[in-house]
Structure 1
């Protein structure tokens, strides 16, 4: 259990988390098991362009009055006088559903980052294995038992399956509608995500975006190196229009990653 008064090295982030945690505990009461941070805060690549990824673990599925109370609480936090108040991105997962991914127990309360986002019931697909892995291996405990006691180990091939499936759906959506990456924010996010997908397919593990990007620059054909390097600049200016050449190059990198991924195509895992 982490009893530190400040859960992260970032004071402005802590202000939001120290508002969220007691509010969640108050609403859930005896149903609360723990609250954790995953994502970039856990993997070590958090910066001012990141979101605040969190997971709340409960002893039962959330619905009815509890859901409505949590939704109202998130609405209130979302109007706090802090830019981080709308960067919360997380889920409320029962202990049973967190232990191992089961599509029969995959509908959970979730909130995404953004000024107009509200807590909603969201289907968590098999790519949730990626979150489970990061949470188990690197997660930050705000309060509660160790994540390793709550989550079964995630096998390398399960991570590969999750990344492969996510890539097929996500990449085809962008190729079908390339205007999605006209903005510098999503274009650079796409480049760095592709680096991480390629790394996971190759090694069956999850690393930070900087680590995956460096690996891609050192390993892939040199033609991709400038695009990846520019992604670190563009992600800090998400409201600007992406350079046309970078949009074209990103689409090419998507096609390359789709082709590369075929060697890792595996049968669906029977759970």
Structure 2
């Protein structure tokens, strides 16, 4: 042997657990079938800007339902979201869905600049002036969205319970998300949901005439 470590390809990295760095996660058949193609398209779109692709959610948690469950991913890249990048990503996702139409509504993926993943969480001052993410999810095509505090839940899941598919280890890219920050985000999300639900007015039954 020449002492050089063999470079790990995306396919060989699939399912490699971040926690141990060596233990393989037994990915479901559907995920194993489509992830190499998706990784190729992401690499083609981002090129040298790609820093890492991180898998989390049911596909690594053991409760993935074949034919139903989504594949959840965080993609880290070096620069910022711009119009040129969005065009390349749209082409990449179109090609992927042409090849794998059964996953058109089963990819939940966010493209995040490294500065967002590693930096301090944003304040509660709204979305004005925040960096942009690119996101695609079931029922929602590729679009830009502000990097608000609520995304910390995705970062936390990817870092603490995810797997690095390719690129830098997730713990070197995504900051730790403290428990108190997770609790604050969950509380804010619950309050927002409550405010969006219309109040139900209960009317007393009118007395019936005898």
Give TM-score, length-normalised by structure 2.
0.74
Rounded Cα–Cα distance in structure 1 between residues aligned with 2:11 and 2:37: 16
CA distance in 2, matches of 1:15, 1:177: 45
Report the count of equivalent residues.
175
8 Å Cα contact 1:43/1:134 also seen in 2: no
C-alpha deviation, 1:86, in angstroms? 2.6
Matched, 1:45 2:63: yes
| Structure 2 counterpart of 1:249 | none
1:66 maps to what in 2? 85
Distance change >3 Å, CA 142–CA 177, structure 1 → 2: farther
Partner of 1:23: 41
User: Greater helix share, 1 or 2?
Assistant: 1
Q: Corresponding residue for 2:182?
A: 159
| 1:223-238 paired onto structure 2 within 5 Å | none
**3-state DSSP of counterpart to 2:159:** helix
> How far off is 1:82 after superposition?
4.2
Greater share of residues in strand: 2
**Which residue of the other structure, out of 149, 171, 182, is the alignment partner of 1:148?**
171
After superposing on structure 2, the runs of 4+ consecutive aligned residues of structure 1 that deviate more than 4 Å are none
The answer to whether the aligner puts 1:4 opposite 2:12 as a matched pair is yes
1:206-245 correspondence to structure 2 within 5 Å: none
Residues 6 and 33 from structure 1, CA distance in 2 versus in 1: closer, same or farther, beyond 3 angstroms? closer
1:37-58 residue CA offsets vs partner (Å, 9 max, x unmatched): 1222244432233211111110
Report the aligned-residue RMSD: 2.3
Contiguous gaps of at least 5 residues in structure 1: 179-271
Structure 1 Cα separation of the partners of residues 166 and 73 of structure 2: 12
1:92·1:110 contact (CA, 8 Å) conserved in 2? yes
Q: Distance in 2 between matches of 1:41 and 1:170?
A: 27
Query: What SS does the aligned partner of 1:127 have?
Result: helix
Find the counterpart in structure 1 of residue 19 from structure 2.
Answer: none
Q: Which runs of 5+ in 2 are unaligned?
A: 1-7, 16-25, 124-128, 201-210
TM-score where L is the length of structure 1? 0.58
